Amino acid sequence: MKDVFCRIIEGELPSTKVYEDSDVLAILDVNPVAKGHCLVMPKAHFQDFLSTPKDIVHKVFDVAQRIGQAEISVLGAKGINILTNVGEKAGQSVPHFHVHVIPRYVAGEGGFQLTMNAIDSSTLDLPVLASTISKGLK
């Protein structure tokens, strides 16, 4: 069964396009958390950010950057959040790599809140943790 983004890309479902080329589609989110909230995705299906080839990731993020710049210059956004989720535990609800471009106008405005609450790093062996992650790099 095709995911909702594959169906949009194939023209089976309507969308409001912001940008399109041979590899990338950007649309307005139908459930926006701010005015101008866009979703940028590759036209080819990839499960998530981690499984997408680097050249496609670069194209998607290039478009996301350009949309963010436009939202600041023409919508008057005061900032932009760029976000992609990998896996259900991280909030990925559609199994198709996509990037949220969320314009921010006033702190705390809209339905999107990003908070980072630090854990107690004194319980971690940071050099061992860094070494472990480094060994896993491809």
Phi, psi of 119 (to 5 degrees): -90, 170
Look at phi and psi of residue 129 and say left if phi exceeds 0, alpha if psi is from -120 to 50, else beta.
alpha
Is 98 catalytic? The answer is: yes
Among 37, 45, 96, 98, the one annotated catalytic: 98
Find all residues with CB under 8 Å of 94, minimum gap 6, and list them. 3, 4, 5
Residues with active-site annotation: 98
